[in-house]
Structure 1
């Protein structure tokens, strides 16, 4: 299968946790701890190959060699290499959701929450690994970004909901939450393609700019 033939499916409300493959992607089988371990091993191997690969393609044989399994074993649990890659990116997306939720814990004020969100946005695993994966499976990764774009926006809206509430209370008018969330997502995606230059990250510079604007609106 060529790189251009691989496509990431749009996200759905039935996505499973990392390492667990949707039933329509894996051939029917009875629950088996050994099978679950094998699946996890294959997904780990595929992720490692994508992160350390030097050429723009990941093959089934490379994943099998890294996982220490046969091609027959790989295709017993995954109908295609596309399904293997989908398992990798689904895990990455779910891990990012969980990591962001964890970063938001303990923030007692909207200001603290916004600062924590921007700090996490500067160096999250999805952006960093996405940049690495882009060199290996560019068509697949770009399709993944496109098909999960709305999920990314909803992630930001959920994380910043109390922040938007506070802003609106301060300035006395609604803010375009969707536009701000989309701007944040597009910033993260752009940094996947073009890594930020050294110095103060753009996300933190945006925080300073927003603080100035809010102070002016309050006065």
Structure 2
């Protein structure tokens, strides 16, 4: 493929999609400054309409966000002398860095870092559908609501006008799975990223409020 085709496509997508994500390039972090380069990459994926990449990177942001929220809540956001970083961060790092997503969600709710409604959404929709469906490549999560059988038609070169009706299960046939997952990603990637980033903003505000009390 010619380089010019890529260049034209990139420029076209930049012109079309930049305003959709400009907010995230300019966002001023209050707590989670380490997310700036990761969010920058995810926003570029949205511009280029890299839907699978957007979802999987957003999954990373979410899992990291919940762990860092717990660690930050434990140590606070006031300045810590550099020479004390090892001792201050060691215990919360050991406590939270390796926990799974379900435990992160539960603990963040217990610490009032997320609301009950957010907890429910993270458990029922995000954890099962977005995280397991894409980061764990579990197509059954994405395709669960599809029918077990779809009717398709098959022809032959010898008799092109004669079509034979056949029944196929889109949940188990890889090429059909791929089509449905691609469509799902296209429809949901950007909104998923926006949801997780809004969660990041809300958790930042809650931590700031907690630390000021």
Superposition TM-score tier, normalisation by shorter sequence: under 0.3
TM-score after normalising by structure 1:
0.25
TM-score after normalising by structure 2:
0.26
Greater Rg by CA? 2
The structure whose residues are more often strand, as a share, is 2
